[in-house]
């Protein structure tokens, strides 16, 4: 059964509501192929899209590598793996002109760490029509997550948890909900090898008009390995360090009994990212993801200073919806 056939057969109850109808029309273009379904796996898309450009440039393969406050949305145990505290902001221009904004305060203590953060996703100035002709006005789609996370280091492993208060608004409907992540991680060989595993986006949303929006629940597990550190004899001040990140994602959503749930891709998939750090300053990154996805590749560049990191990511979509651009700034302190 094609996506459009399924949409027509299962959304008849939605189409009785004119305001729900214009919402469905506005999002139908995002659901016209299985590849795009995999890219926009949930209405609460901000929980399924990395909030910062560094993670996005690695195709979000980051369940085993400490990145600061953004780990709250993946494996929160990695918050204690970062060497320093940080303040981070990020801005992503997603497809369909959706704006994602992220901010976090990450405090690293001796053997523990905590984070408070926000992450918003919005689409503005959509036209509302009950029938062909002039519009009835404009409406917006907004999602917001306000989050807190805590991690602690033990003798053999790190453990962490994060909780997210979620607000969803599709005019005139609103709903609230919660999600939480729990994770474990461990490093070996003086941090050359790191392992991580987490349960992501466990929780639920209140009903939005007819039914609740599903969360992108998943079990994620990953590996991060420092493969190479090279310094040429002719120019020893230009060292090159290479690290590989790999994640395995197993979706946990129950698609039965939910029209929206059918839009989830139930199949496991993998993400692999490559990071090159040149002269401890220039960072080049790229990533690839398997499975039925509209964004199989990603690329990025970063500028690393002792206290400040700037990152940029670009993600070309192969379904004609355009290209994603993301920028972020991270300030490190004790």
Distance separating alpha carbons of residues 162 and 156, to the nearest angstrom:
21
How much is the pLDDT for 9? 36
Tell whether the model's pLDDT for residue 107 goes beyond 90: yes
How much is the pLDDT for 95? 85
Structure tokens of 287?
């990533």
User: pTM for the full model?
Assistant: 0.82
DSSP state, residue 243: E
Q: What are phi and psi of 16, to 5 degrees?
A: -70, -20
If one compares 152 and 4, the residue with the highest pLDDT of the two is 152
Region of 257 please: left (phi>0), alpha (psi -120 to 50) or beta: left
Domain 3-333 has CATH 2.40.160.40: yes
If one compares 141 and 197, the residue with the highest pLDDT of the two is 197
Structure tokens of 222?
């990953």
Please give the share of the chain, as a percent, with pLDDT higher than 90.
Answer: 54
If you average pLDDT over residues 32-36, what whole number do you get? Answer: 36
pLDDT digits (tens, 9 = 90+) for 273-331: 999 999 889 999 999 999 888 889 999 999 999 999 999 999 999 877 789 999 999 99
If you average pLDDT over residues 95-121, what whole number do you get? Answer: 93
Q: Among the listed ranges 9-18, 148-157, 175-184, 248-257, which one has the minimum average pLDDT value?
A: 9-18
If one compares 32 and 301, the residue with the highest pLDDT of the two is 301
Distance separating alpha carbons of residues 242 and 214, to the nearest angstrom:
38
**Among candidates 328, 321, 314, 333, which has minimal Cα distance to 96?**
321
Q: Decide if 175 contacts 160 (C-beta within 8 A).
A: no
How much is the pLDDT for 209? 75
**Among candidates 202, 184, 181, which has minimal Cα distance to 194?**
184
pLDDT digits (tens, 9 = 90+) for 5-23: 333 333 333 333 444 444 4
Cα–Cα separations (whole angstroms), residue 138 to 15, 22, 134, 172, 206: 19, 11, 11, 11, 25
b/e string for 19-49 if b means 16 or more Cβ within 10 A? Answer: ebbbbeebbeebbebebbbbbbbbbbbbbbb
How much is the pLDDT for 236? 67
Tell whether the model's pLDDT for residue 262 goes beyond 60: no
How much is the pLDDT for 68? 93
How much is the pLDDT for 304? 95
How much is the pLDDT for 30? 38
List of residues 6+ apart from 35 with CB closer than 8 A: 292, 293, 294, 318, 319
**Rg for the chain (alpha carbons), in Å?**
20
Whether the ω angle into residue 279 lies within 30 degrees of 0, i.e. cis, is no
Q: What are phi and psi of 189, to 5 degrees?
A: 50, 50
Please give the share of the chain, as a percent, with pLDDT higher than 70.
Answer: 78
pLDDT digits (tens, 9 = 90+) for 43-99: 566 788 899 999 999 999 989 999 999 999 999 999 999 889 999 999 999 988 889
Residue 266: pLDDT band with limits 50, 70, 90: confident
If you average pLDDT over residues 153-157, what whole number do you get? Answer: 93
Domain ranges within the chain, ordered by starting residue: 3-333
What is the average pLDDT score of the chain? Answer: 82
Residue 234: pLDDT band with limits 50, 70, 90: low
Distance separating alpha carbons of residues 27 and 222, to the nearest angstrom:
32
How much is the pLDDT for 23? 42
Strand-pair category, 207-208 with 99-108 = unpaired
């Amino acid at each position: 059964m094609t996506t459009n056939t399924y949409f027509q057969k299962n959304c008849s109850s939605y189409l009785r509501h004119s305001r729900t109808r214009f919402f469905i029309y506005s999002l139908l273009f995002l659901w016209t192929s299985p590849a795009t379904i995999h890219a926009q796996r949930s209405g609460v898309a901000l929980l399924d899209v990395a909030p910062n450009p560094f993670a996005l440039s690695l195709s979000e393969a980051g369940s085993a590598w400490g990145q600061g406050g953004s780990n709250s949305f993946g494996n929160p145990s990695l918050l204690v793996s970062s060497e320093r505290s940080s303040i981070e902001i990020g801005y992503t221009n997603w497809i369909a002109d959706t704006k994602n904004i992220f901010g976090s305060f990450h405090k690293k203590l001796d053997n523990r760490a905590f984070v408070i953060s926000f992450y918003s996703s919005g689409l503005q100035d959509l036209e509302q029509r009950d029938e062909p002709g002039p519009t009835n006005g404009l409406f917006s789609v907004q999602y917001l997550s306000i989050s807190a996370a805590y991690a602690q280091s033990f003798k053999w492993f790190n453990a962490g948890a994060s909780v997210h208060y979620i607000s969803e608004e599709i005019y005139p409907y609103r709903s609230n909900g919660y999600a939480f992540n729990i994770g474990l991680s461990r490093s070996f060989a003086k941090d050359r090898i790191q392992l991580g595993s987490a349960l992501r986006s466990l929780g639920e949303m209140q009903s939005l008009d007819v039914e609740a929006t599903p969360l992108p629940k998943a079990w994620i597990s990953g590996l991060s390995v420092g493969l190479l550190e090279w310094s040429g004899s002719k120019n020893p001040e230009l060292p090159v360090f290479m690290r590989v990140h790999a994640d395995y994602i197993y979706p946990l959503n129950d698609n039965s009994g939910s029209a929206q749930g059918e839009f989830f891709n139930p199949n496991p998939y993998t993400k692999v990212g490559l990071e090159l750090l040149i002269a401890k300053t220039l960072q080049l990154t790229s990533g690839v993801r398997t499975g039925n996805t509209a964004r199989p590749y990603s690329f990025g560049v970063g500028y690393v200073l002792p206290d400040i990191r700037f990152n940029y990511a670009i993600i070309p979509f192969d379904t004609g919806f355009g290209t994603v651009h993301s920028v972020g700034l991270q300030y490190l302190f004790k």
